[in-house]
Amino acid sequence: MTLDTVAGRFAYTEDHEAFRQTVRSFLAKEGVPHVDTWERERLVPKAFWQKAGEIGMLCPTAPEAYGGLGLDFGYNAIVDEEMAYAGVPAGFSLQSDIVAGYMETYGSEEQKAEWLPKMVSGDVITAIAMTEPGTGSDLQSIRTTAKKDGNHYVINGSKTYITNGQNTDLTLVVAKTDPDAQPAWKGMSIILVESDREGFSKGRKLDKIGQDAADTSELFFEDVRVPITNCLGEEGMGFVYLMSQLPQERLSIAVSVMASCQKAFDDTVAFVKERKAFKGVVFDFQNTKFVLADLKAKLQVGWAHLDWAIARHLKGELTNEEGAAAKLWHTDLQWEVMDKCLQLHGGAGYMNEYPIARMWRGARVSRIYGGTNEIMKEVIARKL
């Protein structure tokens, strides 16, 4: 089964859908057969990134002048949907939907020329380091510092839960360039740190309850020296930059989780129609049909809302609170879908050999990353 089971999508053009077929074929050949190996090894190899780069799956919005295709976010969303539905765990969305946006919008000409072509090709894998051992959603409380020493910054601190942390070649580090600034957000900047810088080190691959192959790590900075020119945009504007990119980041999460909802639902329908019980199949029970009917209705609403949000974002009109609402609603739906679909699998649902078990475990983090769902409610409430 594929996402073609979803009828009436209106966010995409024929060109988008042609790109979808390219992405789908690539994932079926180069991704899906290797997922079990990547899950065991808890890492997606860089070679897969480079193969994806060859067909334009990475950073499709990057301007042609920097090696990209110069396309709109809809192409990013196609990649996000297809990867989530196929269950391929590489952190492309972090690179394409988040880091590329910062680089395209705030990067200097030299930074864009240096890094965007390599990000497009997959020769460079990027990460963004915000969360610290003692600081999550409250970014203003970060302790990592980047102090000026002549024409360099000297960075000290640590970060955790960093997506693409093991594979990263270039990390956007959120640090305080003015720890005494009041309010605190005025002292935050985003600094580019290459992984071969002395004093930079990668910690362990973190042992998570789900998304085993998704590369999540600790990063450490001990007197890491980088030139002042590695500051992304203006010094002291890091917090403002982070806030301005949040609608796309949170929409990206909503896109991926919606596709995973559909995959869980489709797999479950197929399962209950084959699973024997009481001289029939599980699908014959009224409870089964009613649970699936309820989920089907919610999926229909979810896809309509997602297309509305994508279309609105493509016009540059999606607000911060609308992005937060999309992340909140779709991730809550994801957990409901995963839990009910696992229940319909019965004992099989608790076995890791069944895809629903992997999807259920992987879904739990969706209401945490990108800002917890409790924070999403705070963001929405501010505009009431």
164-198, pLDDT tens digit by residue?
999 999 999 999 998 888 887 788 999 999 999 99
For residue 165, the number of C-alpha atoms closer than 13 Å in the C-beta half-sphere is: 26
pLDDT score, position 278? 85
Helix, strand, coil fractions of the chain, as percent rounded to 5: 55, 15, 30
The DSSP-derived string for 25-42 is HHIIIIIGGGHHHHHHHT
Cα-based angle 202, 203, 205 (whole degrees, multiple of 5): 110
Same-domain check for residues 375 and 255: yes
CATH number of the domain to which 149 belongs: 2.40.110.10
Q: Which residue has the tokens 């991926």?
A: 256
Element (H or E) spanning 146, and its range? strand 145-149
User: Which stretches in the chain have pLDDT values below 50?
Assistant: none
> Looking at the DSSP assignment, which residues form a beta bridge with residue 190?
174
> Which residues does the annotation mark as catalytic?
249
Q: What pTM, to 2 d.p., does this model score?
A: 0.94
pLDDT score, position 167? 95
pLDDT score, position 136? 63
pLDDT score, position 184? 77
Q: What is the CA radius of gyration of the chain?
A: 21
Same-domain check for residues 37 and 132: no
Same-domain check for residues 215 and 135: yes
CATH number of the domain to which 310 belongs: 1.20.140.10
pLDDT score, position 261? 98
Cα–Cα distance for residue pair 210/167, rounded to 1 Å: 19
pLDDT score, position 183? 82
Same-domain check for residues 132 and 119: no
- Name the token pair of 298: 């919610």
The DSSP-derived string for 152-197 is EEEEEEEEEEEETTTT-SEEEEEEES-TT-SSGGGGEEEEEEETTS
pLDDT in tens, 90-107: 899 999 999 999 999 999
* Domain end marker among 236, 270, 287: 236
pLDDT score, position 137? 67
**Residues spanned by the domain of 166:** 128-236
Same-domain check for residues 53 and 176: no
- Contact assessment for residue 145 and residue 178, using Cβ atoms and an 8 Å cutoff: no
N-to-C CA span, the chain: 41
* Domain end marker among 188, 217, 236: 236
pLDDT score, position 140? 73
Same-domain check for residues 224 and 262: no
pLDDT in tens, 285-324: 999 999 999 999 999 999 999 999 999 999 999 999 999 9
* Domain end marker among 124, 146, 166: 124
CATH number of the domain to which 71 belongs: 1.10.540.10
Same-domain check for residues 153 and 103: no
Same-domain check for residues 120 and 132: no
Average pLDDT, the chain: 94
pLDDT score, position 250? 95
Domain count, the chain: 3
- Contact assessment for residue 125 and residue 49, using Cβ atoms and an 8 Å cutoff: yes
pLDDT score, position 180? 81
Same-domain check for residues 351 and 249: yes
Same-domain check for residues 50 and 107: yes
Same-domain check for residues 373 and 265: yes
Same-domain check for residues 114 and 147: no
> Looking at the DSSP assignment, which residues form a beta bridge with residue 175?
189
- Name the token pair of 199: 């004093």
